[in-house]
């Protein structure tokens, strides 16, 4: 059964995050397959620690967490209770010295906010681009921001830039606002927008890590759209081509099912970029990810799944 949409108290969730930071809490989120595998171990059936509850999403009961933590979870609206089996509806994960709140495992709700290894890779790519730029970033946007990790990463390295974090998922925006305040990046604003349709102006940096899977369940955080899962990635390329300033760059982190040695996303992206005047590069970040997906019908035609970074720049 999927969970209903989550309504949170942002102030209480922010206090919870601040309390976790004060304890030195850290957690690195793994892929869903790894998460499920680790949690299936008999000794992990119940939570025994803060990381078990707010990282591994294991059930727990009275006495496992300090009372102030439980009280803040209740106030924030992120604690489900069923007798003595309690569950957190959020996780807190670490990246770049920050804590980021996102949805609990499994991410099966319609408004799930995903964070995982691809988030780390995307944010690393954005940070590397900011470091290598010839000109400073003045105005940036993170399309489909989710937790806001990308926007926060850019803002920490471009302190004079105005940064937007945009998404159509209200839960994502609520989480992103908490994460922005926790990180202390005051120049980031989380705004509801379908791609760039809800914001004005041009940008000298656009970053995005959109859903890119073929997902028969149609989960918004995962389904990239179309027969290959690439519709959203291609729409972001189109939006960037219209809204990049001279010298501006799109950094798009995505993925593709490779078929007979051919990357269909690269082929489609090349067609979209052909008449835009943008110069671009495309590289595989990891040639073999999410191997468990190859067992399903959606990827029976693919020999492997790769994650990729496309960088497209409007010449100055």
Q: 208: which strand partners? A: 143, 252
Distance between CA atoms of residues 43 and 135, nearest Å = 52
Find the angle CA(142)-CA(144)-CA(150) to the nearest 5 degrees. 40
Whether 200 contacts 175, CB under 8 Å: no
Q: Give the pLDDT confidence score for residue 3 in this predicted structure.
A: 58
Q: Which helix (H) or strand (E) holds 211?
A: none
Q: Enter the tokens of residue 209.
A: 């890590």
- Hey, is 1 helix, strand or coil? coil
Q: Give the pLDDT confidence score for residue 217 in this predicted structure.
A: 84
Q: Report, as an integer, the average pLDDT of 209-228.
A: 91
Q: Report, as an integer, the average pLDDT of 130-135.
A: 94
253-285 per-position pLDDT tens digit:
999 999 999 999 999 999 999 999 999 999 999
Q: Give the pLDDT confidence score for residue 220 in this predicted structure.
A: 83
Q: Mean pLDDT, the chain, as a whole number?
A: 96
Q: Enter the tokens of residue 270.
A: 């090349």
Can you give 207-236 as a three-state secondary structure string?
EECCCCECCCCCCCCCECCCCCCCHHHHHH
Distance between CA atoms of residues 218 and 5, nearest Å = 16
Distance between CA atoms of residues 91 and 52, nearest Å = 10
Residue 139 reports pLDDT greater than 80: yes
Q: What are phi and psi of 99, to 5 degrees?
A: -110, 135
Domains assigned to the chain: 10-103 (no CATH), 117-313 (3.40.50.150)
176-192 per-position pLDDT tens digit:
999 999 999 999 999 99
């Amino acid at each position: 059964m999927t969970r209903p949409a989550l309504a949170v108290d942002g102030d209480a969730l922010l206090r919870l995050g601040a309390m976790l930071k004060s304890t030195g809490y850290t957690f690195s989120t793994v892929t869903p397959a790894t998460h499920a595998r680790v949690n299936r171990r008999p000794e992990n059936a119940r939570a025994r620690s803060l990381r078990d509850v707010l990282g591994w999403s294991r059930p727990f009961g009275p006495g496992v967490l300090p009372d102030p933590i439980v009280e803040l979870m209740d106030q924030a609206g992120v604690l489900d209770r069923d007798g003595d089996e309690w569950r957190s509806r959020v996780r807190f994960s670490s990246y770049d010295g920050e804590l980021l709140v996102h949805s609990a495992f499994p991410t099966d709700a319609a408004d799930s906010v995903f964070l995982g290894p691809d988030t780390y890779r995307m944010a690393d790519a954005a940070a590397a681009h900011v470091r290598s730029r010839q000109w400073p970033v003045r105005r940036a946007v993170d399309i489909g921001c989710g937790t806001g990790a990308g926007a926060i990463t850019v803002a920490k390295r471009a302190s004079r830039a105005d940064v937007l974090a945009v998404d159509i998922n209200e839960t994502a925006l609520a989480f992103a606002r908490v994460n922005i305040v926790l990180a202390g990046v005051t120049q980031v604003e989380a705004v509801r927008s379908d791609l760039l349709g809800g914001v004005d102006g041009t940008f000298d940096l656009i970053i995005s890590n959109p859903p890119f899977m073929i997902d028969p369940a149609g989960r918004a955080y995962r389904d990239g759209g179309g027969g290959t899962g690439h519709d959203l990635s291609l729409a972001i390329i189109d939006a960037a081509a219209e809204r990049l300033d001279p010298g501006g760059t799109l950094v798009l982190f995505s993925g593709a099912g490779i078929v007979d040695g051919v990357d269909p996303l690269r082929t489609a992206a090349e067609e979209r970029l052909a008449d835009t005047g943008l110069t671009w590069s495309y590289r595989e970040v990891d040639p073999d990810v999410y191997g468990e997906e190859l067992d399903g019908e959606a990827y029976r035609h693919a020999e492997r799944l790769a994650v990729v970074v496309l960088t497209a720049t409007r010449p100055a």
